[in-house]
């Protein structure tokens, strides 16, 4: 904020989006405009509404801070031509960003963002194509409409989640929306179903308590305390725009997203009978691969980025798709990450199976074997980054005593070993960091693999 995310740059980006929308639909276009609770969100929405109207696009302004999945659902429910959402998701409070959803409610694919970038370049170059459509005739500008996304989205979640089963089980739930866009959402749905629920951080704080609104690690300690105070069986949390989830088991254990996705995949096959497929990013646990074989379900491995999984949801090729970075969605729902849905489905799963998530995970390990995944980031000096970028072009036949069985370049470099362990390297596009994902069949082997993975980064080529 105030460095790269400025009003001038927002104007450029939204103008590019508006021009793109007009290029796809000359008349009658409508676009939702929403935000999370961050600082100046209302002002950025004001600017977006103004620019859309200047281009002849009807702005549908969402009245309150809204979760990204709720905005995505409203796109499909109202049949709009997309949505502009001001949010930086799980990032620290000093950041902001713009998410553009297309008319199907999905995150914009690379070809769409390239078209928007071309429109921005045309505007910056002062070409005729960059002239607003209606700015010389304010009377012709479409009127701004106000929209409330909460009721429709909660109604849809009530159709998907078995709230009666949660109530009947006597489950007690603790919620932490991290001062974000999901404030009141899970809580309202559970209370309406007469499920005992305790909530914290359910009000607007543009500083998110002074840290990133990310439901992970020590930041979940207040939720753990709330669970203990209220005798809650499960804790559910969401990030700043509620597209990511954090789940805490009854004993206070954080259930990492890799495992949540695998558990819910197994549960949906069991309870819904959905066997059309499962999707995971290349950096997500191979426990899902093992379960796909176990259930005889097609597996799709995608590049990192939920937009690729969203495409499979739109085509009804998968029952569930997810990423290790805590994003998932399911069949017949939005092609966008939904952290609220993830938490509620976990509540249903615990309620109907009658045992903790930890116990369910142990049962999965008994069925298909154990899997221990981890992600670490390593910061690079310019010299190391240059050498390592070249190193990523290699295709090693062995990796610190392990024979490499497969080299995968779906996204970055993934080395799959003969013992089924693997390591995946992805360079960040925004900072001098390499993200290292690794998985082994035991915790001890994982420690060794992570150490080897780090050594491979910093060893001279």
Query: How many Cβ atoms sit within 10 Å of the Cβ of residue 18?
Result: 27
Whether residues 43 and 158 share a domain: the answer is: no
133 pLDDT exceeds 60?
no
Residue 15 lies in a domain: yes
How far is residue 344's CA from residue 349's CA, in Å, rounded to a whole number? 9
Residue 220 lies in a domain: yes
391 pLDDT exceeds 60?
yes
Residue 362 lies in a domain: yes
CATH number at residue 179: 3.40.120.10
Residue 174 lies in a domain: yes
Of 124, 148, 172, the position where a domain reaches its end is 148
DSSP structure string for 294-341: HHT--EEEE-SSHHHHHHHHHTT--SEEEETTTEEEETTS-SS--HHH
3-state secondary structure of 232: coil
139 pLDDT exceeds 60?
no
Whether residues 313 and 388 share a domain: the answer is: no
Of 133, 148, 163, the position where a domain reaches its end is 148
Residue 459 confidence (pLDDT): 86
Residue 159 confidence (pLDDT): 98
297 pLDDT exceeds 70?
yes
For 55-78, the pLDDT digits (tens) are 999 999 999 999 999 999 999 999
3-state secondary structure of 11: helix
What distances in angstroms separate CA 112 from CA 21, 105, 271, one per listed residue?
A: 10, 13, 37
Residue 127 confidence (pLDDT): 60
Least confident of 127-131, 233-237, 308-312, 357-361: 127-131
- Range of the structural domain that residue 38 is part of: 7-148
Residue 136 confidence (pLDDT): 44
Whether residues 379 and 354 share a domain: the answer is: no
Whether residues 235 and 384 share a domain: the answer is: no
Count up the domains in the chain and report the number.
3
Is this structure's pTM higher than 0.85? Answer: yes
Tokens describing residue 95: 């950041």
Of 343, 368, 393, the position where a domain reaches its end is 368
- When pLDDT is cut at 50, 70 and 90, the band that residue 356 belongs to is very high
- Spatial neighbors of 135 by CB under 8 A, at least 6 apart, are 54
Taking the CA atoms of residue 96, residue 102, residue 108 and residue 111 in that order, the dihedral angle to the nearest 10 degrees is -140
131 pLDDT exceeds 60?
no
What's the whole-number average pLDDT of the chain? Answer: 94
Residue 141 confidence (pLDDT): 84
Residue 322 lies in a domain: yes
Tokens describing residue 57: 């696009």
Buried b (16+ CB within 10 A) or exposed e, 424-461: bbbbeeeeeebbbbbbbbeeebbebbbebbbebbeeee
3-state secondary structure of 259: helix
**Mean pLDDT to the nearest integer, 107-129:** 88
Whether residues 142 and 163 share a domain: the answer is: no
Taking the CA atoms of residue 43, residue 45, residue 47 and residue 53 in that order, the dihedral angle to the nearest 10 degrees is -150
Least confident of 121-125, 312-316, 377-381: 121-125
* pLDDT above 90 as % of the chain: 92
- When pLDDT is cut at 50, 70 and 90, the band that residue 119 belongs to is very high
Residue 460 confidence (pLDDT): 61
Of 388, 393, 356, nearest to 453 by C-alpha is: 388
Taking the CA atoms of residue 69, residue 185, residue 320 and residue 437 in that order, the dihedral angle to the nearest 10 degrees is 80
Of 308, 261, 316, nearest to 284 by C-alpha is: 261
Residue 2 lies in a domain: no
For 393-442, the pLDDT digits (tens) are 999 999 999 999 999 999 999 999 998 999 999 998 878 999 999 999 99
How far is residue 428's CA from residue 283's CA, in Å, rounded to a whole number? 14
Whether residues 245 and 221 share a domain: the answer is: yes
What distances in angstroms separate CA 364 from CA 50, 150, 280, 330, one per listed residue?
A: 53, 36, 18, 20
3-state secondary structure of 173: strand
- Spatial neighbors of 92 by CB under 8 A, at least 6 apart, are 208, 211, 212
Least confident of 103-107, 128-132, 188-192, 317-321: 128-132
Residue 14 confidence (pLDDT): 98
Query: How many Cβ atoms sit within 10 Å of the Cβ of residue 271?
Result: 14
Q: Is 70 exposed, middle or buried (0-12, 13-18, 19+ CB in 10 A)?
A: buried
Q: In whole angstroms, how large is the CA radius of gyration of the chain?
A: 23
- When pLDDT is cut at 50, 70 and 90, the band that residue 25 belongs to is confident
Whether residues 110 and 35 share a domain: the answer is: yes
What distances in angstroms separate CA 339 from CA 90, 257, 264, 334, one per listed residue?
A: 12, 11, 13, 12
Of 207, 231, 150, 216, nearest to 183 by C-alpha is: 150
How far is residue 376's CA from residue 458's CA, in Å, rounded to a whole number? 14
CATH number at residue 442: 3.30.310.50
Whether residues 233 and 187 share a domain: the answer is: yes
**Mean pLDDT to the nearest integer, 38-42:** 97
How far is residue 292's CA from residue 384's CA, in Å, rounded to a whole number? 38
Whether residues 185 and 281 share a domain: the answer is: yes
Whether residues 268 and 353 share a domain: the answer is: yes
Residue 137 confidence (pLDDT): 47
Are 224 and 317 in contact, with CB atoms under 8 Å apart?
no
Residue 1 lies in a domain: no
Residue 167 lies in a domain: yes
Whether residues 233 and 175 share a domain: the answer is: yes
Whether residues 206 and 344 share a domain: the answer is: yes
DSSP 105: S
């Amino acid at each position: 904020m105030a460095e790269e995310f400025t009003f001038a740059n927002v104007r450029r980006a939204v103008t590019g989006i508006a021009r793109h929308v007009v290029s796809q639909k000359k008349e009658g276009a409508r676009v939702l405009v929403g935000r999370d609770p961050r600082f100046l969100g209302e002002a950025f929405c004001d600017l977006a509404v103004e620019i859309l109207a200047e281009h002849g696009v009807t702005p549908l302004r969402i009245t309150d801070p809204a979760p990204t999945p709720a905005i995505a659902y409203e796109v499909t429910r109202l049949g709009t031509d997309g949505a502009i959402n001001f949010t930086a998701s799980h990032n620290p409070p000093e950041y902001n960003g713009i998410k553009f959803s297309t008319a199907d409610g999905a995150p914009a694919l690379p070809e769409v963002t390239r078209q928007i970038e071309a429109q921005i370049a045309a505007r910056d170059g002062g070409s005729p194509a960059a002239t607003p459509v209606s700015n010389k005739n304010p009377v012709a500008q479409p009127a701004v409409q106000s929209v409330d996304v909460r009721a429709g989205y909660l109604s849809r979640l009530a159709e998907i989640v078995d709230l009666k089963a949660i109530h009947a089980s006597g489950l007690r739930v603790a919620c932490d929306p991290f001062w974000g866009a999901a404030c009141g959402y899970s809580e309202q749905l559970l209370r309406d179903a007469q499920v005992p629920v305790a909530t914290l951080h359910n009000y607007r704080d543009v500083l998110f308590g002074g840290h990133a609104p990310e439901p992970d690690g020590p930041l979940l300690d207040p939720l753990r305390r709330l669970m203990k105070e209220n005798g809650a069986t499960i804790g559910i949390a969401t990030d700043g725009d509620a597209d990511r989830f954090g789940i805490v088991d009854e004993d206070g254990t954080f259930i990492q997203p890799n495992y949540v996705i695998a558990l819910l995949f197994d549960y949906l096959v069991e309870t819904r009978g959905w066997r059309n497929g499962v999707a995971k990013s290349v950096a997500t646990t191979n426990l899902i691969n093992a379960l796909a074989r176990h259930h005889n379900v097609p597996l799709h491995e995608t590049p990192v980025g939920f937009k690729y999984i969203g495409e499979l949801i739109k085509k009804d090729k998968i029952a569930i798709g997810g990423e290790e970075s805590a994003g998932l969605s399911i069949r017949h729902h939005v092609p966008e990450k939904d952290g609220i849905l993830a938490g509620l489905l976990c509540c249903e799963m615990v309620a109907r199976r009658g045992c903790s998530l930890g116990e369910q995970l142990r049962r999965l390990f008994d069925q298909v074997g154990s899997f221990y995944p981890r992600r670490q980031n390593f910061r690079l000096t310019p010299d190391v980054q240059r050498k390592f970028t070249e190193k990523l072009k290699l295709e090693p036949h062995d990796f610190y005593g392990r024979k490499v069985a497969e080299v995968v370049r779906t996204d970055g470099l993934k080395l799959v070993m003969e013992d089924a362990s693997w390591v995946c390297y992805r360079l960040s596009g925004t900072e001098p960091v390499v993200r290292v994902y690794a998985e082994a069949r035991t915790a001890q082997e994982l420690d060794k693999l992570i150490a080897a993975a780090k050594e491979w980064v910093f060893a001279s080529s």
